[in-house]
Chains A and B, each alone.
Chain A
Amino acid sequence: MNAPANTNSLLERAPVMIRDWIIGFFPESLRWPVGALLAIAAMLAVFGLVFAFLTLAERKLLGRAQNRPGPNRSGLPFFRGTKLFGLTQPFADAVKMLTKEDIVPRAADHLLHFLAPVLVVAFALMTFAVIPYGRQLVAVDIDAGVLYFFAAGAATELAIFMAGWASHNKYSLIGAMRALAQLISYELPLLLSVVPVVMLAGTLSPTKIVEAQANVPGGLIPHWHVFTPWGAVGFAIFMVAALAEANRSPFDLPEGESELVAGHLTEYSGFKYALFFMAEYFGMIGLTGMGATLFLGGWQAPCAFLEFIPSYLWFGVKMLSLILFMMWIRATLLRLRIDQLTRLAWKFLVPLALINLGTAAFWSRTDSWSGPLQFVRWAIALALIVVPFVVIGRRLTAGLAPRTYRYAT
């Protein structure tokens, strides 16, 4: 990594310095566990708050997209008439969730019914461990971090199935089944879209992948994976699959409220429901964080002269814009049917992701091409992307569009 002087600014080093300062109070033997606990506490605090305000942001954004003002009522207790644009809404929601009655159906498997919300949050939190949030900010820097991330992420679906099974309710069970079908369908394109990154960076460690996307000194164009042909496609596939993995609209079939009451959430109330809600947002945070790490250069600034802004802020900006994009999609798209969902995965995303592997291989083979050959390289790579996209898209939509309406105009 080429580190100019400004990357060592005080703000950049602040989180690590604070950690070292606190650890300094403890004897040598206790330093490692205390450091780990500090990382956990910091992560819980930061992402807890981020989660709280994301729920508000989502409701505001959905409201605005539907020409409504969104929640703007909640003020401060004891100060009647204050409104603060509804900024205290998450805390009011938390109080409401905590004080609600916790109903467990008599027929439910009590142990699993209790374990499911705990596990779903635990697995979602586990994914946070390997994401590099800043230059030195990664809780656990393991070599196979990417692998670990997707293993822990897929386990959340297991907890969702647990919830559906333990509830002893047909809607819950159907929701859980859908969650599994979705998992099997979308885990494949998700992983296939990541493989080129691992191939070209030559490592499974998220920190090293971020370093592979470091800026060329003085360069103005970010050296991120998303700005290569295979990276752009991989990123698009990753985002679609991440939406499905996080059970976000338009792939929120497991909890499709119009047909399944609330799917696996039907029998959950009060704080257990809040935990599932939290896990959904944590899953979203984790996946977008990983997406930013793999394709958007992680904590790297877009160009060298912007590196005076601390790296963790760049990471936050990237992650939040990806999350906002997911919310924007939720405001726009309708929920798919289960057969459409699996068809999209198996017949469209998986072939494209496989072809993308070839594109990535071509791209890495032709790394030495320069001058006019650069144009040839781009042309071939783009052709490798656009042609399959159009051909597969045509074949998939053949006979489906445009739809003719018999009674409506």
Chain B
Amino acid sequence: MLGTGIIKGLAVTAKNFVGSFYDPARLVTVEYPEKQIPIPENYRNFPFLVHEGDDPIATLRCVACKICENECPPQCIYIVAERDEKGKVLKKPKIFDIDIAVCMSCQICVEVCPFDAIKMDQHFEIAAGNRFEGLLLHREQLAKPNSYYQKIHPTEAAEVDAMLTAMKARQAAEKSAKAKPAPATQTPPPAA
């Protein structure tokens, strides 16, 4: 009969109305600042710089090779390498800025970095009062410890760490082979 559909509909909304007070599982929204949905591991937004030790700036993995600066499609990375008094280039950045107002989260900088020094972050609460200075991140803000990287991207970080330790071991072996040629004849370098 005419009108039964309306009554059925009214019953549905009434059930939702009452149910939303008694059954919290019905509420689909998350009260955001207090509660958060866990971020999936593969989420990425902006790059950050990985450092190893306690002193963020001194132990950056970045060697200021500028590959990422050259490859970044929107050109939002700006690097100046550190120099000593004689003007010789040291292998670390004096300035490392990323303008995240321009960055398009493409991850190309991460892919091209030969030193695994730059990785993608998950921190998204980056609203700023000023869109020029506020969104231009310097190396102090970008530097984050390796442990943080292991926390946000566990799988990826494990791979990177395994690779890095293997490489270090190889380098150490090569070094010791060069320094002491006598034992080298006894044990051939693993790389060979």
Contacts and interface: CB of A to CB of B under 8 A. Distances in A.
Contacts of B2: 389-390, 393-394, 396-397
Interface stretch (A106-114, A167-175, A282-290, A326-334): A326-334
A67 B9 CA distance: 15
B1 A328 contact: no
B26 A65 contact: no
Given A64-B21, A65-B17, A332 B27 contact: no
Contacts of A332: 6, 9-10, 12-13
A67 B13 contact: no
Interface-central residue, B6, B20, B21, by most chain A CB under 10 Å: B20
B25 to A, nearest CB: 10
Contacts of B14: 65, 328
Contacts of A61: 17
Main SS of chain B's interface residues? helix
Nearest to A236: B3
B17 A390 contact: no
A214 B31 CA distance: 50
A254 B6 CA distance: 22
B17 A69 contact: no
Interface-central residue, A64, A394, A397, by most chain B CB under 10 Å: A64
Contacts of A67: 16, 19-20, 26-28
B53 to A, nearest CB: 38
A66 interface: yes
Interface string B16-47: 11011100001111010000000000000000
A406 interface: no
Contacts of B28: 67-68
A328 B10 contact: yes
Interface in B48-76: none
Nearest to A331: B13
Interface string A323-349: 000001101110000000000000000
A390 B31 CA distance: 48
Nearest to B26: A67
A397 B3 CA distance: 11
Interface string B176-188: 0000000000000
Nearest to A389: B2
A201 to B, nearest CB: 28
Given A328-B10, A332-B9, A65 B1 contact: no
Nearest to B28: A67
Interface residues on B, range: 10 to 19
Contact of B16 (A64, A333, A389, A394): A64
A331 B10 CA distance: 8
Main SS of chain A's interface residues? helix
A65 B26 CA distance: 11
B89 to A, nearest CB: 50
Nearest to B12: A332
Contacts of B9: 332-333
B56 to A, nearest CB: 32
A64 B17 contact: yes
Interface string A372-409: 00000000000000000110011011000000000000
Given A389-B2, A393-B2, A393-B3, A65 B13 contact: yes
B131 to A, nearest CB: 21
Contacts of A394: 2
A329 B16 contact: no
A14 to B, nearest CB: 35
A254 B13 CA distance: 25
A333 to B, nearest CB: 7
A389 B3 CA distance: 10
B80 to A, nearest CB: 41
A67 B26 CA distance: 6
Contacts of B3: 393
A380 to B, nearest CB: 21
B36 to A, nearest CB: 16
Nearest to A61: B17
Interface in A53-100: 61, 64-69
A64 B17 CA distance: 5
B138 to A, nearest CB: 30
A331 B12 CA distance: 10
B16 A65 contact: yes
Nearest to B7: A332
A331 B13 CA distance: 7
A66 B6 CA distance: 17
A69 B13 contact: no
Contacts of A65: 13-14, 16-17
B103 to A, nearest CB: 31
A86 to B, nearest CB: 12
Contacts of B20: 64, 67-69
Interface of A: 61, 64-69, 328-329, 331-333, 389-390, 393-394, 396-397
Given A67-B20, A329-B10, 8 more contacts: A65-B13, A65-B14, A65-B16, A69-B29, A328-B13, A328-B14, A331-B13, A397-B2
19 contacts: A61-B17, A64-B17, A65-B13, A67-B16, A67-B20, A67-B28, A68-B20, A68-B28, A68-B29, A69-B20, A69-B27, A328-B10, A329-B10, A332-B10, A333-B9, A389-B2, A393-B1, A393-B3, A396-B2
Interface of B: 1-3, 6, 9-10, 12-14, 16-17, 19-21, 26-29, 31
The 3 closest A-B pairs by CB, nearest first: A393-B2, A65-B13, A332-B9
